[in-house]
Amino acid sequence: MVNSATRIAIIGGGMGGLTAAIALTRIAGVQVTVFEQAGKLGEVGAGVTVAPNAQRVLDRLGVLDQIKRAGATPDGHGVYQDARGNVVTDAAWEDSARQYRNIGMYRPDLIAVLAQEVDPDTIRLGHRLSSIQTSDAGVRVEFENGAREDFDAVIGADGIHSVVRKAVSQFPEPVYSGYIVYRGVVDASLLPDEWPMISQVWMGDHRHFMCYPLQQRKLFNFVAGVPSDRPLAGDWSGPAEVSELAAEFAGEDWDPRLHRFISAIEKTFWWGLFDHEPLTNWSRGPITLLGDAAHTMLPHQGQGVNQAIEDSMALATFLAAADDVSDIPEAFRRYTSVRMQRTAILQHGSRRAGAMFDAQYEFADLQKRDADLRVGRDFRRSAVFDYDALKVAEKALQNSRRNQFA
């Protein structure tokens, strides 16, 4: 069996990498080292939704209560509404059993909660990966600061511009979607007292705006998607003027309540939205991928971080079942075969959700868009939120053992 003598490097100290460190330590019992290129752990000051499917994983890892204390649970279902604020349908942000309901988390808070669950001696900051090589003895990782170290296996949780991904295969670079998002947070005290503590989405002409509460309702997250060619001219993210965001949603076509929210924004940043077609493979020998490195997806279903958390549980489950270090490549192969179909569906679903929010393609027919949103509400609950990453991995292991002895 793999055990505490088994050494695994995790490249990337973001939300996926830290969750993987917790899962591999607590479920597979291996020794992990997390390498993060930044000088300190942290995330940009914006929000993320911890969805029911990820909460199920975090609950089993023993960290859900800490996340609940740091986050914000909404008062009820969110709403999708048109540009003027007319409700199209509610959004069922809970699983079918109503055991888990979406939690809005300030990204720095989520990083802090996860980091507290990882032995600080296993986290190496200021390590930007430069190369990765396999040999009969395992995997050697080298960093720009001159450090080098050998491990039994490597997990690439290093995001959309993954260096580890290049060691798996030569995949096409992520493709720009034609959209950017403005993101940031608003002090809840700057909003009217009656502002609803739920998720709200306004959908207009080729753009949309979303907000929801964070940090025990002290903050509100916002995400505003608009068409732009800005990333094609240089950087893929950067600071932005609030005035340019406000101009995208100005005029009588937009709900005065939305104008009121935007007037409370003091600072914002922009990000280009990129994704790629589902990869044909995530693993090569003792190297595998996790999170955005494996399945970059658009943010329109709020599943990017949540899928990385699911990955972590599945990966730890397959590693725990490995007989010894020599079986790690097979454990990685089983992990990818289970996870690739799930994430591919959500990659395509996220594109489709964005097209609905922004009235693109066939959804320019608003009646069709609204009907699809209403139908999709219950499907989202059953297909996305009810998913149990542990049970799916355990079932796959049982099936492989049956086939082995058939």
Express each pLDDT in 295-349 by its tens digit: 999 999 999 999 999 999 999 999 999 999 999 999 999 999 999 999 999 999 9
pLDDT mean over 163-188: 93
Residue 236 resides in a domain: no
Residue 392 resides in a domain: yes
Query: Is residue 212 among the annotated active site residues?
Result: yes
Residue 384 resides in a domain: yes
pLDDT mean over 382-398: 95
- pLDDT computed for residue 43 by the predictor: 76
Express each pLDDT in 235-281 by its tens digit: 789 999 999 999 999 999 999 999 999 999 999 999 999 999 999 89
Residue 182 resides in a domain: no
- pLDDT computed for residue 405 by the predictor: 56
Residue 243 resides in a domain: no
Residue 188 resides in a domain: no
pLDDT band at 135 (very low <50, low <70, confident <90, very high): confident
Residue 274 resides in a domain: no
Residue among 182, 212, 335, 387 flagged as catalytic: 212
Q: What is the pTM of this model?
A: 0.96
CATH for 292: 3.50.50.60
Residue 40 resides in a domain: yes
pLDDT tops 60 at residue 284: yes
Instruction: Report how far apart the first and last C-alpha atoms of the chain are (Å, whole number).
Output: 23
Around Cβ 20, how many Cβ atoms within 10 Å? 28
In the chain, pLDDT over 90 holds for what percent of residues? Answer: 82
Residues of the domain holding 30: 7-174+283-405
- pLDDT computed for residue 1 by the predictor: 77
Average per-residue pLDDT for the chain: 94
**Picking from 48-52, 114-118, 229-233, 267-271, which range would have the lowest pLDDT averaged per residue?**
229-233
- pLDDT computed for residue 404 by the predictor: 65
pLDDT tops 90 at residue 363: no
**Picking from 17-21, 91-95, 341-345, 374-378, which range would have the lowest pLDDT averaged per residue?**
374-378
**Cβ neighbours for 159, distance < 8 A, ≥ 6 positions apart:** 12, 14, 291, 292, 293
Around Cβ 241, how many Cβ atoms within 10 Å? 12
Burial class (CB in 10 A: 0-12, 13-18, 19+), 388: middle
Q: Specify the number of domains making up the chain.
A: 1
- pLDDT computed for residue 79 by the predictor: 96
pLDDT mean over 222-228: 96
Express each pLDDT in 267-276 by its tens digit: 999 999 999 9
In the chain, pLDDT over 70 holds for what percent of residues? Answer: 99
pLDDT band at 177 (very low <50, low <70, confident <90, very high): very high
**Cβ neighbours for 243, distance < 8 A, ≥ 6 positions apart:** none
